[in-house]
Structure 1
């Protein structure tokens, strides 16, 4: 329905489509606000065109700035403070997420190497139906086999 609001404000719709828009506007506050904004903008542009045609000041900036300040003040709630605005700045959010990702990677062992400690030895256990074997390989890769039987 929002796509038809511009044509509705400019009175470009057929009577049946305009009636449909009017019925929708009775129940939808968002679309009513869009129509008000569109009409106000159209009015300001018409006034601006007349000023330029009459050789007047053609700067709309003071009116735009005043409108933006009013809208900002209307949206600002009394409980919102500068502390939250500072904390939630995109710079701080990005930095915090990067630090968290770095800590997760560090503690997950991504940066660890495959080097084994100097006192490493490998012990394997092999069970067969006849015997239980224990194989011990020391630092010098010497092989010691210990036969264990039950």
Structure 2
């Protein structure tokens, strides 16, 4: 073990909270290192002098003040009796409530994705390709609608010629649609 490792575990060693294997390693280091041995002796002397000090009991007035602190904090937070608790929209309590945490997470994700799309070079190229695909799909949809209009016009023409060939006076006229 080196000095740094011994200094980290020295307090636990003095309180006999280390494994016997670790204690053996520390003792072997202390046998060969004068600085760590002096530090160990100083810590032992400090522990001995601290244990000889008497325990001080806090005064009843101090205890009463300490026990009153949680009640004072609750009075500052909670509303007066009979008043409904007002939760302001701009308060931290409102926005960090569990009901709004999923909303905050989703807004954060949306902002991150939007910033990646709008403010990075790959995002700009993605915008261009997305715009191109949108315009292609739009023009294809327009072509399909035009073809559908042409087909309905042709079908209406076939219908009219069929009715004319049968003789329109034999069949009742129906709606043109």
**TM-score range, shorter-chain basis?**
0.3 to 0.5
- Whichever of the two has the greater Rg, that structure is 2
TM-score normalised per structure 1: 0.33
TM-score normalised per structure 2: 0.28
Greater strand proportion: 1
Higher relative contact order (Cα pairs below 8 Å, separated by 6+ residues): 1
Greater helix proportion: 2
